[in-house]
Structure 1
Amino acid sequence: MSTEASEDSVPAQDRIEVTLRRPWYGALQRPTVVFDGRGQPAQWGTGSWRITGAEVSFEVFLFNRQWRYGAAGTTLTAGIDTSLVYHAPLLPFLPGRFTRS
């Protein structure tokens, strides 16, 4: 078995850096990060995730025990998008937003 064939079958992997900014009122809940429909809890601050494939859907939202809010979503392209900043909404019923950094 040649090594070239095994390298071609592995999808391209890239890393994305996301900074999650806490809202001004000091939200006690933690953000949830969703890549291609698979959610995982996160912490406020800067984190790095590995993405595979050419395009990946990415979403961040906040959840308290009663409702989900502050959702913001985008599509990431491997190799082009390297860092994002998520800004939590000023009020709990507004959506969040992404900016590029």
Structure 2
Amino acid sequence: MTDGPLPSGSTRRRVELRLRKPWFTLGARPTVTVDGIGHPAQWGTGTWVLPDDGAVTFGVFCITRGWRFGAASLRVEAASATGAVLAYRAGVLPVGPGTLVLERR
């Protein structure tokens, strides 16, 4: 019998990601990228698994009807970011960049 990967629920390294919905979205949905791989997301708070070592680049952008806006990214060290809270906020209007900041560790 070979050892398989542990289920994601058993990992201890997680980061909380808060996606704040802008007041003017035109029905936009957020997309989260982890090291360049996109994952559809929902507005609100969620957790994301971190690897055991190395650094991870989180990115978030909004997309609506083919219009992409509010892109922001942040690189965090996996070992020191366990339990951290990242907060994303898109711009006021659906143009330009958003902000992704480390609120607390």
TM class, shorter-length:
0.7 to 0.9
In terms of Rg, which structure is larger?
1
The one-letter code of the counterpart of 1:84 is L
% identity of equivalent residues: 43
CA distance in 2, matches of 1:26, 1:74: 22
The one-letter code of the counterpart of 1:29 is A
Any idea what the Cα deviations from partners look like across 1:44-88, whole Å, max 9, x if unmatched? Answer: 000000011320111000011222110001101113231111011
TM-score by structure 1 length?
0.80
The one-letter code of the counterpart of 1:41 is P
CA RMSD of aligned residues (A): 1.7
Equivalent runs, 1:43-58 vs 2, <5 Å: 43-52=42-51, 53-58=53-58
More helix by share: 1
Q: How many matched pairs?
A: 90
CA distance in 2, matches of 1:90, 1:43: 18
Q: Decide whether aligned partners of structure 1 residues 78 and 13 sit closer, same or farther in structure 2, where only a CA change above 3 A counts.
A: farther
Structure 1 residue 23 and structure 2 residue 22: aligned? yes
Corresponding residue of 2:34 = 35
Structure 1 gaps of 5+ residues are: 1-11
CA distance in 2, matches of 1:97, 1:85: 8
TM-score by structure 2 length?
0.77
